[in-house]
C-alpha cells in the first residue's frame, strides 16, 4: 500500500467515525428495522421495602444478614457500618441506584439510613406493639 493510499484511507476513516454516534441516536423504527436489544444490568444487593420493614433496632448482625443478605461493601476500618447498594439499568433507560447504610453498636443494629425508611403501616404497628409491651410491664 502506498503512502498516499494509506493517508487517504486514514482520512476517510477519520471523517466517517463521528457518524457512528449519529447512527446510535437514529430511529431505525422509521425504516421498519427493529432496535438493538439492550440488556438489563443489575448490580449489588436487591433491596426491597419488605426487607427494610423487617429491620428492628437491637437485631444481631446475624439476624440482619439473614434479612438483608451479605453487605456489598465491607469496611475493614469501620466494622460498625454495613453498606448495601443496588443499581439497575434497564435497556436504554437511565441508571437507577438505591442505597441503604446500617449502623451497629457492638453486635446489635442501632440505626439505618438511605433511600428507604420503614413504611407507615410498620411504624404504626411498632408503636402499637410498644404500647402493649409497656401496658403489660406496668
Q: What is the pLDDT of residue 3?
A: 78
Q: Which residue has the higher pLDDT, 121 or 63?
A: 63
Q: What is the pLDDT of residue 121?
A: 55
Q: What is the pLDDT of residue 71?
A: 84
Cell numbers for 71, please give them: 453487605
Fold type of domain 40-133 = Beta-lactamase Inhibitory Protein; Chain:B, domain 1 (3.30.1450)
pLDDT in tens, 6-58: 878 877 776 776 665 555 555 556 666 776 777 888 787 888 888 888 888 89
Q: What is the pLDDT of residue 109?
A: 92
Q: Are 82 and 71 contacting, i.e. CB atoms less than 8 angstroms apart?
A: yes
Q: At 110, is the secondary structure helix, strand, or coil?
A: strand
> The whole model's pTM is what?
0.59
Cα–Cα distance, 106 to 58 (Å, whole number): 10
Q: At 55, is the secondary structure helix, strand, or coil?
A: coil
| Of 42, 57, 67, the residue nearest 126 (C-alpha) | 57
Q: At 31, is the secondary structure helix, strand, or coil?
A: helix
Q: At 76, is the secondary structure helix, strand, or coil?
A: coil
Give the start-to-end residue ranges of the domains of the chain.
40-133
Cα–Cα distance, 68 to 45 (Å, whole number): 8
The alpha carbon of residue 85 and the mean position of all alpha carbons in its chain are separated, in whole angstroms, by 5
Compute how many other C-beta atoms are within 10 angstroms of the C-beta atom of residue 24. Answer: 8
Q: What is the pLDDT of residue 124?
A: 52
Cα–Cα distance, 51 to 68 (Å, whole number): 6
Average pLDDT of the chain, as a whole number: 77
Decide if pLDDT at 123 tops 80.
no
Amino acid at each position: 500500500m502506498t503512502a498516499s493510499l494509506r493517508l487517504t484511507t486514514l482520512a476517510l476513516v477519520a471523517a466517517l467515525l463521528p457518524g457512528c454516534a449519529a447512527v446510535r441516536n437514529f430511529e431505525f423504527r422509521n425504516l421498519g428495522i427493529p432496535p438493538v436489544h439492550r440488556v438489563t444490568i443489575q448490580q449489588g444487593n436487591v433491596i426491597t421495602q419488605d426487607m427494610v420493614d423487617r429491620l428492628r433496632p437491637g437485631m444481631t448482625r446475624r439476624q440482619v444478614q439473614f434479612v438483608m443478605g451479605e453487605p456489598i461493601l465491607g469496611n475493614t476500618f469501620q466494622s460498625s457500618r454495613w453498606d448495601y447498594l443496588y443499581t439497575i439499568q434497564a435497556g436504554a433507560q437511565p441508571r437507577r441506584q438505591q442505597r441503604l447504610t446500617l449502623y451497629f453498636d457492638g453486635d446489635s443494629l442501632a440505626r439505618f439510613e438511605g433511600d428507604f425508611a420503614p413504611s407507615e403501616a410498620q411504624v404504626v404497628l411498632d408503636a402499637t406493639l410498644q404500647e402493649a409491651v409497656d401496658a403489660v410491664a406496668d
